[in-house]
Each structure stands twice: as C-alpha cells, then as structure tokens.
Amino acid sequence: MTTGGPTLPKTRLALPEDDAALADIFNRAHQHLAGHVTRSAADLSWRVRGQPGMSPDGAFVAEDEDGRHIGYAFIKENGDVIEFAVDPTADRKAAASALITACEDHATREGAVRMRLNVPLDDQEVAEALSEAGLAAARPEARHYITAIDPGTLLQTLLDQLPDRPIRFDLSLTDSHPWQSSTTSIARSVAVDVEPEFIVEGDQRSLNDVILGGRSPWRALLMRKVRVIPASRAPRAVRLLRRVAIDAPWFYHLGDIL
C-alpha cells in the first residue's frame, strides 16, 4: 500500500556542467537580498565546489517533470549546507523538501552529527519545508559588521547607481581617519561650481548606521547623531539618504563566511 503524500521533485548529483544554470537560480533567488557575491559558473567552481570538505557527491540539483533545474544544494561532509537556492518561479516548498532530504541522507551517511544551513528570514516556503523535515531555527545572530572606508566616496558611488537625482551637497565627517576626507563634495549631474544645497554632518558610526545599517535618517537627526545644515533642508536630505541607504536584508550562506 502506498501513502498519499505529494510527490517530491527528483534530485540528482549536480555536475560542473550544471553550474551556469545553478548560478542563474542563485542570482534570481537572491535578487532582493544584500551582502552576497553574485554567482557565476566560475565562481561556483572555486567558492563552493572548491571548499575544503566539499566532495562531488554532496552536490544536488532538483529538477521538475520537464527536467528543468529548480533548485540546488551543496553540503559538506560535516553537515554544513554551504549553498542552498530554489528557483523563485518553481514550487519552492517541494523543491526545498527534496533537496533537504537529499542533504540529510548524505550527511547521515557521512556520519555528520548536525546538518545546518542559513535561510533568509522572509523565506516562508523554504522555512516550512525545513520545519516539516525536522529542522529548527535558532535565534538570528547579529555577527556581521560593516564600515564605509570613506562615507563620502561611498555615498557618491551609491548616488551614481541611481538613475536620476541631480543634486549637490557636502558631507562632513567629524571623526575622520587618516585614509578619509573630512569633507567630501558630492556632485552628481551638476557643474562643480554650483553651491551645495546642504551639508550632511556626522561621525563615522552614525553615517554607517544610516547608509548601511538600515537606521532611520529621521531618528539620526532627532538624536542629533547626524546634522543637516541648514536645518530647513532636512526633509530633502532625508529623502536622498533614504534613496541611497541599503535597506535589503543582509544574507549570506555558510559558504560565504570566508
């Protein structure tokens, strides 16, 4: 007698010739996240397949009924799933279930005492699949730290990636290090002889918090961590900072923590 559960997609070993398709899945699945390196086939070859403890029989790809790649997982001999991605357009829960089953079988055979992997907090479908497979989530740990090498240059780089916004302002760093400019003129799409509209002033950590750490610019202003001169330009400065600030959740796989 057979039981009536849903049929999971089939999995097989992922071969190097699959890597271009796997990198494409990774990049689409992680489009809304921050803090990872965009994958290419060559990158998968070194970053994932080349890691110590990673063997070819720990690489799995899930396929749908038409043989299309819908997800993949790389698990090391110690049970660390160093990369795990599911196609955003596929039946993600089913693909995740198939892949985690393949990983668990492999890790059990290898004698690992624990299997673990990182999953974005907003990925409910994969979370459900893992929960049903008996995995449990630990409390998220904040152990990733970041600093701008030079906040002015960083702001300029981020502004340059916006499609519009002609504006000029100065950024004044109150605790600059030897490798930083204390004042940076942020000029974009305007002549350099145009007077700055305003000055944003703050210390390194406060500016990091606003530009990279997802902290509210308004809150930074109210707490007097960041100043806008003249104060009447604060709404415009806040709108600008909000546009360039990194608000995507930071995510990295176990294999990304080099």
Partner 1 sequence: MRFRQITPSDPKATKVEEMVDSAFGFYGAPYWRWKYASPEAPPGIIVIAEADEDVVGCSHYVSANYHLGGETRIEALFGGDLLVAPELRRQHIATELSLRSREIAVAQRPEARVVTMYTWRALGAHYEELLGYTRLKPGFAQWSKRLNWDAGVKAVLAGNEALIRSFPRLETADHGFRLELSGSPPLDFDVGEEGFIPGRKKKARVTIKVDDVGLAGGGAKARLASGLLKAFVTGRIRVTGSPRALWGLILVRGAYQRVLATLRKA
Minimum CB separation from partner 1 for residue 77, in Å? 11
Q: Are 107 and 57 in contact (CB under 8 A)?
A: no
Minimum CB separation from partner 1 for residue 188, in Å? 15
Q: Select the residue interacting with partner 1 from 178, 192, 195, 232 (CB under 8 A).
A: 178
Q: Select the residue interacting with partner 1 from 21, 28, 64, 78 (CB under 8 A).
A: 78
**Given the complex with partner 1, which of 63 and 100 has the nearer CB atom?**
100
Question: From CA 98, how far away is CA 63, in angstroms rounded?
Answer: 10
Per-residue x/- marks for partner 1, 123-162, CB under 8 A? ----x--x--xxxxxxxxxxxxxxxxxx--xx--xx--x-
By C-alpha distance, which of 40, 84, 37, 34 is closest to 62?
84
Number of shown-chain residues binding partner 1 (CB under 8 A): 78
| Cβ contacts of 179 within 8 Å, gap of 6 or more | 149, 150
Question: From CA 185, how far away is CA 199, in angstroms rounded?
Answer: 9
Task: State which of positions 25-44 bind partner 1 (CB under 8 A).
Answer: 30-38, 42
Q: With binding defined as CB under 8 A, does residue 116 bind partner 1?
A: yes
Binding segment (CB under 8 A) for partner 1, from list 13-21, 184-192, 202-210, 229-237: 202-210
Record the tokens describing residue 196, joined without a space: 């700055």
First to last CA, the chain: 48
